[in-house]
Chain A
Amino acid sequence: MVDKVKFAFTEIDPSLGALSTLPYLPIVLTYQNQSVSTIGLLDTGSSVNVLPYEMGLRLGAVWERQRLSVPLGGNLARFEARALVVTANVERFPPVELAFAWTQDSNAPLILGHMNFFLAFDVCFYRSELLFEVSPKRSQ
Chain B
Amino acid sequence: MPLIELAPLLKELSYSDKLMLLHFLVAELLKESGLTPLDIQDQGKVASQGLHDSFEAAAVLAKALTEEKVATHGR
Interface string of A46-59 (1 = CB under 8 A from B): 11111000000000
Q: Which residue of A lies closest to B60 (CB)?
A: A70
The 5 closest A-B pairs by CB, nearest first: A73-B48, A74-B50, A83-B64, A99-B61, A115-B58
Is A62's CB within 8 Å of the partner chain B?
no
Classify the secondary structure of A's interface with B.
Answer: mixed
Q: Which of B51, B55, B64 makes the CB contact (< 8 A) with A74?
A: B51
Q: Which residue of A lies closest to B56 (CB)?
A: A71
Q: Which residues of A contact B55 (CB under 8 A)?
A: 47
Instruction: Beyond the given A114-B58, A115-B57, please list 4 additional residue pairs across the A-B interface where CB-CB is below 8 A.
Output: A46-B51, A71-B48, A77-B34, A81-B57
Q: Which residues of A contact B49 (CB under 8 A)?
A: 73-74
Contact A99 B64 (CB under 8 A): yes
Contact A77 B48 (CB under 8 A): yes
Task: Knowing A73-B47, A78-B31, A111-B51, say if A48 contacts B57 (CB, 8 Å).
Answer: yes
Classify the secondary structure of B's interface with A.
Answer: helix
A49 vs chain B, min Cβ distance (A): 7
B25 vs chain A, min Cβ distance (A): 15
Q: Which residues of B contact A75 (CB under 8 A)?
A: 34, 50
Q: Which residues of B contact A49 (CB under 8 A)?
A: 61
Is A76's CB within 8 Å of the partner chain B?
yes
Interface string of B34-75 (1 = CB under 8 A from A): 100000000000011111111111101111110011000000
Is A72's CB within 8 Å of the partner chain B?
yes
Contact A47 B31 (CB under 8 A): no
Q: Most A CB atoms within 10 A — which of B31, B34, B61, B63?
A: B61
Contact B60 A47 (CB under 8 A): no
